[in-house]
């Protein structure tokens, strides 16, 4: 980090402000936070990854904004980076009671970080306290922002005290497993299941948006409280699986492999995350249970092949919970208390907590 030898300012100092880092300052931050988050890669590969992720279709043209808390009286590249984060702009659907579904934007906050030399002084708290209100109107030319979100890895209280209220943060976990045989065939070729590749996902994402828009509208009317969702991003080149059959009767998943450390090391926490799980007709039937089992077995086999320990799906519906019991697959439900706590700051009227806002489709695809 920049060599800053003057006495450190108080976090409450009015001279501190949020600005955007220079390219060199971003490299400094990435070099520092690699030690915490990136050791599954070499430093060179980690920086190449961060540079690449800042210049892909969802992040181009203002899709990602980097922020630092600093003393603006000092020149760029010679000022202290007291705290750092990024905000990612996403589309959202919001429905208020008696109001049609509105499309807007949401900013998701990620990569909150302070160098060890600056920790314990309240700089991250100051940065986030300043940033929350800014995101209410940030990039408003792209749409109205009804809320901002983040995912806490330090429990539920810290960010709640800053205005981001905790929402449902549970997941179901299945172990990785070798492909079972079905009439002598690998599950990837088994009857009733089709693998999904990048070119398959655009059509599904468009269909899924219509499902989510309808769910948001119905939720607001039935519960008489605002409802919102973040639709999935444009499809990257990832895999998934879908049961065969006519649209409206299928079960499908889209998943991504996430690596935190060395392969085949259970302590690394490497996981195959199901980004989105859809049961199109939402019925708790034996037929749907078999379809769900088939696509989940594909995910388990992929996890086994890639040497990740588990398959995880966030905040599955009550219908999916019932179907999982019917599948006979080994699984565990977890209510998270400390990591990846889905949190939301509401910019409209009301308390903005889980009892007054409906967050639909609160799955891994919205994570930032």
Q: What is the pLDDT of residue 185?
A: 45
Q: What is the pLDDT of residue 6?
A: 61
**Percent of the chain at pLDDT above 70?**
93
Instruction: Single out the residue of 135, 138, 139, 126 nearest to residue 17, CA to CA.
Output: 126
| 138-149 pLDDT, tens digit each | 999 999 999 999
| pTM > 0.75: yes or no | yes
Q: What is the pLDDT of residue 232?
A: 72
According to CATH, the superfamily of the domain at 17-166 is Gcn5-related N-acetyltransferase (GNAT) (3.40.630.30)
Q: What is the pLDDT of residue 183?
A: 41
The residues near 157 (Cβ < 8 Å, ≥ 6 apart) are none
Instruction: Provide DSSP, 138-185.
Output: TTGGG--EEEEEEEESS-SHHHHHTT-EE---EEEEEE--PPPPBTTB
Residue 337, exposed/middle/buried by CB under 10 A (0-12, 13-18, 19+)?
exposed
Answer whether 101's CB lies under 8 Å from 213's CB. Answer: yes
Q: Which one has a higher pLDDT value, 148 or 307? A: 148
User: Does 61 have pLDDT greater than 80?
Assistant: yes
d(CA 145, CA 365): 19
Residue 15 exposure: Cα atoms within 13 Å on the Cβ side: 10
Q: What is the pLDDT of residue 234?
A: 54
Q: What is the pLDDT of residue 137?
A: 97
Stretch 26-33: mean pLDDT: 95
Q: What is the pLDDT of residue 71?
A: 94
Q: What is the pLDDT of residue 233?
A: 62
Q: Which one has a higher pLDDT value, 265 or 184? A: 265
4 confidence band (pLDDT: 50, 70, 90): low
| Mean pLDDT lowest among 102-106, 126-130, 214-218, 223-227 | 223-227
User: Does 280 have pLDDT greater than 70?
Assistant: yes
Q: What is the pLDDT of residue 228?
A: 76
Helix and strand totals (H; E) in the chain: 7, 16
Stretch 23-50: mean pLDDT: 92
Mode of pairing for the β-strands spanning 358-359 and 227-229: parallel
Q: What is the pLDDT of residue 182?
A: 45
User: Does 216 have pLDDT greater than 90?
Assistant: no
264 confidence band (pLDDT: 50, 70, 90): low
| 231-252 pLDDT, tens digit each | 776 543 457 999 999 999 999 9
Highest averaged pLDDT of the listed ranges 171-175, 257-261, 298-302: 171-175
Find the farthest-apart pair of alpha carbons in the chain and give their distance in angstroms, rounded: 72
Name the average pLDDT for the chain: 90
| 179-211 pLDDT, tens digit each | 764 444 455 556 789 999 888 988 998 999 999
Domain boundaries, the chain: 17-166, 170-197+237-335
- Give domain 170-197+237-335's CATH number out of 3.40.720, 3.40.630, 1.10.10, 3.40.50: 3.40.630
DSSP class of residue 257 equals E
| Mean pLDDT lowest among 10-14, 77-81, 188-192, 225-229 | 188-192
| Residue 281: its H or E element | none
DSSP class of residue 93 equals E
Q: What are phi and psi of 189, to 5 degrees?
A: -115, 10
């Amino acid at each position: 980090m920049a060599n800053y030898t003057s006495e450190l300012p108080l976090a409450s100092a009015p001279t501190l402000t949020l600005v955007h880092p220079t390219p060199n300052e971003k490299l400094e931050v990435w070099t520092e936070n690699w030690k915490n988050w990136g050791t599954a890669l070499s430093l060179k590969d980690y920086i190449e990854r961060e540079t690449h992720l800042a210049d892909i279709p969802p992040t181009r043209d203002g899709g990602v904004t980097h922020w630092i808390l600093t003393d603006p009286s000092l020149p760029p590249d010679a000022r202290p980076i007291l705290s750092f984060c990024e905000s990612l702009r996403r589309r959202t659907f919001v429905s208020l009671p008696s109001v049609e579904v509105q499309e807007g934007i949401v900013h998701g906050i990620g990569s909150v970080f302070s160098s060890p030399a600056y920790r314990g002084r309240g700089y991250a708290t100051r940065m986030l306290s300043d940033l929350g209100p800014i995101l209410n109107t940030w990039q408003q030319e792209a749409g109205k922002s009804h809320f901002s979100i983040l995912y806490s890895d330090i429990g539920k209280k810290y960010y709640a005290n800053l205005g981001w209220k905790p929402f449902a943060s549970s997941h179901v976990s299945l172990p990785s497993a070798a492909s079972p045989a079905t009439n002598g065939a690998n599950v990837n070729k088994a009857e009733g299941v089709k693998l999904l590749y990048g070119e398959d996902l655009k059509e599904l994402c468009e269909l899924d948006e219509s499902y989510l828009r309808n769910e948001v509208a119905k939720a607001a009317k039935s519960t008489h409280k605002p409802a919102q969702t973040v639709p999935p991003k444009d499809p990257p080149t990832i895999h998934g699986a879908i049961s065969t059959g006519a649209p409206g009767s299928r079960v499908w998943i889209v998943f991504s492999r996430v690596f935190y450390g060395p392969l085949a090391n259970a302590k690394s926490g490497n996981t195959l995350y199901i980004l989105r799980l859809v049961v199109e007709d939402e019925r708790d039937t034996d037929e749907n249970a078999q379809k769900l089992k088939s696509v989940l077995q594909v995910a388990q086999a992929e996890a086994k092949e890639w040497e990740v320990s588990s398959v995880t799906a966030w905040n599955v519906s009550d219908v999916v919970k019932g179907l999982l019991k019917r599948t006979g697959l080994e699984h565990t439900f977890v209510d998270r208390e400390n990591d990846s706590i889905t949190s939301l700051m509401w910019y409209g009227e009301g308390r903005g907590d889980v009892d007054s806002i409906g967050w639909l489709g609160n799955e891994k695809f919205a994570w930032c």
